[in-house]
Structure 1
Amino acid sequence: MSANSRRQATISRHKRIRKGMSGTPERPRLAIYRSNNHIVAQVIDDVAQHTLVAASTLESDVRESLTTTANSEASAKVGALIAERAIAQGITKVVFDRGGNLYHGRVQALAEAAREAGLDF
C-alpha cells in the first residue's frame, strides 16, 4: 500500500468515526493527531468549538527528557501530561477520538497513559 493511499484510509476512517462523536462541555473529546515525528493531544468542547487543554511532543518540557519524539515512550508522556492538565481543569471524563489512526502503538500508549493518570474513557 502506498503512503498516499494509507493517508487516504486514515482520513476516511476519521470521517467515519467523527460522524457519531461529539465533545460536549460535560464530556469533551480527546482528539489525537499523529505525524511521523510528533503526536498532539487536545481536549475539545465541540459545542463551543474551543480547545480546553492541549499537550504535544513539540513542547520543550516533554522533549528535553526524550531522545526521540516518535516512539511510544514519548506518546505515553504526552498522555500523562494531557490527563494531568485536564484533571487540573476539572475534566475527568472524555470521549476518545483516535483521529482515524489504528488503536495500536503510539496511539494506544497515549490512551493507556491518560487512563492510568486518571482520565475516564
Structure 2
Amino acid sequence: MKASFLSIGFLFLIASAPACSNQKKAAETSQTSEQQEMEVTGEIVKIENGKDGYMATVKDSDNKNYVVTISIVNLQKSGGTYKQFQTGEHIWAKGTFWKDDSGQIYITAKDIKSVK
C-alpha cells in the first residue's frame, strides 16, 4: 500500500513538471517584452481618436513616422499623465513597441511630454 502511494506521488510529480517549465518560460517572455522600449521625439502629423485615448502619428527629425498610442488607461498604469495633444505639437513619448509586416513602428506610450 505504501508503495502504491509513492508510485502515485511520483507520477503526479512527473506530470506536473512540464507545467512548471511552461510558467517559467511565460515569465521570461513577459520580462523580455517589457525590456523592449523605445523613445520618439517629433511633431504630431495625424491624430486618430479612439475610445479611451488616441493614436498620434509622430514624424521625427529623420522624417520617419511612428504611431504612438496615447491611452488614459496605459498611462495611468505606468504612472504617466494623460494629455490631449493636437497636430503640429512636438512631443516626446516612451513605451513598449512592435513592428508590423511593412516595418511601421507602433509605440504604446507609458510616458509623454510636450517638447518646445
Compare relative contact order (CA 8 Å, sep 6+) and give the higher one, 1 or 2.
1
Richer in strand (by share) = 2
Q: Which has the larger radius of gyration?
A: 2
TM-score class, shorter: under 0.3
Richer in helix (by share) = 1
When the two structures are superposed, what TM-score results if normalisation uses the length of structure 2? 0.26
